[in-house]
Amino acid sequence: MSIRPLIILPDPLLRQVSKPVERIDDDLRRFADDMLETMYDAPGIGLAAIQIGEPLRMLVIDLAKEDEEPAPHVVINPEILGHGDDSAVYEEGCLSIPDYYAEVERPATVTVRYLDKFGKQQEIEADGLMATCLQHEIDHLNGVLFIDHISKLKRDMVVRKFKKLAREKAPPKLAV
C-alpha cells in the first residue's frame, strides 16, 4: 500500500467525468487499499479515485471515529437510484480543497447501487453523514465539487484563492 498525492483545486482533472471500472481484479483491490491509506493519511472520511489522478468511477468511505474500529467501504461504479424528499445541511470539506468548509444542502437520504471490491453488487439506503458523503464523492466522479452547491460569489472567491496559491507554488518560468 502507498499514499498517493492528492489533486488540488484548480487542477482541471477534478472537473473530468470518470469512466466506469471495467474489471475488478487484484490490481484494482490494491488501488483501493492505496486510496484508503491516502484518505486515512490526509485525514478524511471519503476519497474519489479522480482525487488521486485516476478517472475511475470508484470511491472509498470510512466514517469510523478515531476510537472506533475502521469500517472501510469500497464503492465501484456507484449509481444513485433515488433519494428522499427531505434535505439535510452538513458542513462539508474536501481533501482537494484543503482547509475550506461550507454548509451544503443535499437530500437527507439516498439509495445507491454499486459493486464492492469483489465485484458483488450491493445496494445501500443511506442517511445522515453517509448519505452526504456518498453524494459528495459521487459528485467527484461526475466532475462536480461541493463548492458547486454554494453561492456563485463564495465559489468564485474559493477558486480565486486556490488559483493564486497554485501560482505561488508553481516553479518560476525561465526566459529562453
Cell of 24: 475488478
Which DSSP letter does residue 12 get? G
The yes-or-no answer on residue 137 being catalytic is yes
- Cβ contacts of residue 137 below 8 Å, gap of 6+? 46, 47, 48, 59, 61, 75, 78
Cell of 26: 487484484
Distance CA 48, CA 82 (A): 20
> Biggest alpha carbon distance in the chain?
60
Please state whether beta strands 87-94 and 58-61 pair in parallel, antiparallel, or not at all (unpaired): unpaired
Residues linked to residue 92 through DSSP beta bridges, in sequence order: 102
Contact 75, 137 (CB under 8 A): yes
The catalytically annotated residue of 68, 79, 92, 137 is: 137
Cell of 130: 453517509
Q: What one-letter code names the amino acid at 133?
A: C
The candidate with the shortest Cα–Cα distance to 35, out of 1, 79, 78, 82, is 1
Catalytic residue numbers, as ranges: 137
